[in-house]
Amino acid sequence: MVISRALAFMNDPTLAASVLPGPGAGLDLTGFLAGAGTLYMIADSEQEQSPLAPLFACMACELHWTAMQHGQASPGGRLDPPLLMALDEVTQICPVPLPAWCADSGGKGIQIISVVHGDGQLEARWKHHGKQVILDTAGAQVLLPGITDTDALERASRVCGQAAFREHGHDGMSRHEVVTADMARRMPDGFGLIIRGSCAPVIAKLQRAWKDRIYRKARRRGYAVAPVAAARPASLARPVTIADMSAVPPAQQLAEKQANQPAKQPAPVGGQRPDGHKTGSNGHGPVSDHPWGRP
């Protein structure tokens, strides 16, 4: 019943032809793993259960099973090169058997990164014991700022443990939480609380992928930016294809983008800008009364 509903759109021959691969053009999972390729599965997560969730779970399970078989047959008993499965919104878009995967995937060369919004999502999908298995088998946990799940914050505070401190005016040592629940919730943007195995907890600054040197170099050369072609007249019968979009050189794309942008109005010196924000005496930036200096 699940497959019939998920594949009902293929009753239309036109839709079926748009998704079915041609002869010899299908996805070979064995060759995909050997070539260290990348597979993106993207779906909408606004609903409680994505309509593509059964198909995504089927595809992910088949890929995981194939990787596990090849890993066990490898000389070292591990998949080489290893497989990374980054599962965002795993409870809604790709509901795979995560507790069973996390228990033994690491020893077979399969690394799993699962992203959820809190303990509530894990417990709603895999109940209390399944949630605990996922947390216990995770090699590292990263908590981002802004979490409001009190259970997750209290659990992180207890896992981080306590430390002994000497206070002024008191004899002896006193023990306090290393990371309180309030500290974990109010971390600055761009930082994360990292809990890994038996190591001490660390609040680290998380690197942005778009600030990486390799990405920035590729972006300057036009390799990491999707090319945007100029709009074609409606009278042309032939639609814009991928070949048409990739034919526009990066320099021409940048020139067209700059030409279409409106001219920037200079900010007034002192007083207020047109948007209502206060400006400094030199007119270079906003002045805010926020304690952290944010506009």
Higher-confidence residue of 252 and 157: namely 157
133-146 mean pLDDT? 90
Most confident region among 155-169, 222-236, 244-258 by mean pLDDT = 155-169
117-128 mean pLDDT? 88
Distance from C-alpha of 110 to C-alpha of 128, rounded to nearest angstrom: 25
pLDDT at 20 over 50: yes
Percent of the chain with pLDDT strictly greater than 70: 74
For residue 210, what are its two tokens?
């778009």
For residue 90, what are its two tokens?
């795993």
* Cα angle 110-111-113, degrees, rounded to a multiple of 5: 140
SS3 87: strand
Helices (H), 7-52: 13-19, 29-34
pLDDT at 63 over 90: yes
Distance from C-alpha of 99 to C-alpha of 223, rounded to nearest angstrom: 38
Full DSSP string of 113-179: EEE-S-HHHHHHHHHHHHHHHHHHH-SEEEEPTT---HHHHHHHHHHH-EEEE--TT--S-EEEESS
pLDDT at 181 over 70: yes
What single DSSP character describes residue 266? P
Confidence of residue 259 (pLDDT cuts 50, 70, 90): low
Confidence of residue 113 (pLDDT cuts 50, 70, 90): very high
Question: What pLDDT shows up at residue 62?
Answer: 93
Distance from C-alpha of 214 to C-alpha of 227, rounded to nearest angstrom: 19
Q: Residue 120: name the closest of 149, 143, 94, 156 by CA.
A: 149
pLDDT at 235 over 50: no
pTM over the 0.95 mark: no
Higher-confidence residue of 256 and 113: namely 113
Q: Where are the domains of the chain?
A: 1-11+38-138, 140-206, 213-255
What average pLDDT is seen over the chain? 77
